[in-house]
Amino acid sequence: MKYIFLLFIFAFMFSCSDGIDKNIDDNVNEDKWLVDETYIKEGAPFAFIDNPSFKKVNEIENVSDDDLVIMFNYKGRVKVFPYVYLNYSEVVNDKIDDLEYIASYCPQTKSGICFNKVIGGKSLNMFASGFLFKDNLVLTSQEEDVFWSQMLLTGIKGGQKYMEINDLFSIETTWKTIKDYFPMAQVYYHNLLSRGEVNKYNSVKKAKSTKFFGIVNGGIENSVEVFPYSSFSKLKLNKLIVNGRQTIVIGDESKNIFTSFYEPTGENLELDTSFPLVLKDNKGNRWNIFGEAIEGPKKGTKLASPSFFHAELWAWNFFYKNNVTMHN
């Protein structure tokens, strides 16, 4: 992992505890890790990035077709974060209209996730702490001495008011899919990095054999449903129960697109093959890849989703141990 040193001294003093205690009261020692310290690795903090720069899709030069990106959509505005650029700081603070959020990427576990920046009623400026938990990114903030595990989707040290961090719906795909289907997107770039420089970082290309799409079932209580790329060799829809709710999984290996939605009670959604439309019903409703109804009586509404993202298979197993359910 390439550590980017900031220009200020950043020192932490920690004592540690075994495992996560979800019933901690407000008198908890905020200097304690809420996870097993033996899985914590220490490093230098990364650069803090806010006010990021964006270009149009046709203005981006240093991204290859098979480079992976994370795509975020809010109020019809699509923003794309290529991992070759996001890898530089691992965390980027951004805002779309009234929504403050971050895009994050861990090059070890190869997991890209977006989060809401407002936690405990406070907007927090976040960056990669340099710490790893189970070889996965640990985020922290400028305002509070709080630390969050990216893949656990929760805080692992600090004030209880700020433990709950909300992941936001985002999609990992390839740069080619962005060019082909989302040409009006805004694309994050870092003007200090040339293609030669970004190639120094860990691989950010499509890796069919090692990365798996996972849906978190029940939060940090260690259960996840994972799907290999090969199970979606062409556009396909699966249904299963996640968090006690009927859940749809949509994947298409050729476009490197995977997503998941809760199926509304009483509905029987079917696959729509007019990508980026992916779902339809018998009442004239059609939904796009973001879960937005763009035609029919439900136009303007959006499907709810479970927490999902991609990660290396070893990472899913490391975090969830014996509670990884593999789907073919």
**pLDDT tens digits for range 42-73:** 999 999 999 999 999 999 988 899 999 999 99
- Which strand (E) or helix (H) includes residue 95? strand 91-96
Predicted local confidence at residue 109, as pLDDT: 95
For residue 6, the model assigns a pLDDT of 35
Instruction: Choose between 5 and 282: higher pLDDT.
Output: 282
**Residue 31 has what pLDDT?**
84
* Residue 316 pLDDT > 80: yes
How many other C-beta atoms are found inside a 10 Å radius of the C-beta of residue 6?
13
Same domain, 152 and 295: no
- pLDDT tens figures, 226-253: 999 888 988 999 999 999 899 999 999 9
Q: Report yes or no on 19 lying in a domain.
A: no
Q: How many domains does the chain have?
A: 2
DSSP string, 172-196: EEEHHHHHHH-TT-EEEE-TT--HH
User: For residue 125, is pLDDT > 90?
Assistant: yes
Residue 276 banded pLDDT, cuts 50, 70, 90: very high
Q: Looking at residue 2, what is its pLDDT?
A: 38
Domain assignment present for 286: yes
Q: What is the pLDDT, as a whole number, of residue 196?
A: 61
The total number of residues shown for the chain amounts to 328
Please state, as a whole number, how many other Cβ atoms lie within 10 Å of the Cβ of residue 300.
Answer: 8
Per-residue pLDDT, averaged over 131-140, amounts to: 98
Within this chain, do residues 202 and 292 fall inside the same structural domain, yes or no? no
Structural domain span for residue 65: 49-206
pLDDT score of 204: 63
Query: Is residue 12 domain-resident?
Result: no
CATH of the domain at 260: 2.102.10
Per-residue pLDDT at 29 exceeds 50:
yes
Tens of pLDDT, residue by residue over 136-188, are: 999 999 999 999 999 999 999 999 899 999 999 999 999 999 999 999 999 99
pLDDT, the chain, mean: 87
Work out the average pLDDT over 23-33: 64
pLDDT band at 202 (very low <50, low <70, confident <90, very high): very low
pLDDT of residue 328: 81
3-class secondary structure per residue, 210-271: CEEEEEECCCCCCCEEEEEHHHHCCCEEEEEEECCEEEEEEEEHHHCEEEEEECCCCCCCEE
Please indicate, yes or no, if residue 290 is contained in any of the structural domains. Answer: yes
**What pLDDT, on the 0 to 100 scale, is given for residue 160?**
87
Reply yes or no on whether the pLDDT at 22 is more than 50: no
Judge whether 93 and 52 are in contact, CB under 8 Å: yes
Kindly state the average pLDDT of the residues 249-263.
Answer: 95
Check whether residue 202 and residue 54 sit in a common domain.
yes
Distance CA 313, CA 328 (A): 14
**5 or 120, higher pLDDT:** 120
- Does residue 199 share a domain with residue 138? yes
> Which whole number is the average pLDDT over 11-39?
59
Same domain, 197 and 58: yes
- Residue ending a domain, among 167, 190, 206, is 206
* Any domain includes 3: no
* Residue where a domain terminates, one of 206, 239, 265: 206
Reported as a pLDDT band with limits 50, 70 and 90, residue 74 is very high
Q: Are residue 161 and residue 193 in the same domain, yes or no?
A: yes
The residue-averaged pLDDT of 65-92 equals 95
**What is the percent of the chain where pLDDT is above 70?**
85
pTM of the full predicted structure?
Answer: 0.88
b/e sequence 242-268, b meaning 16+ C-beta within 10 Å: beeebbbbbbbbebbbbbbbbbeeebe
Q: Write down which residue in 206, 226, 256 finishes a domain.
A: 206
- Are 231 and 199 in a shared domain? no
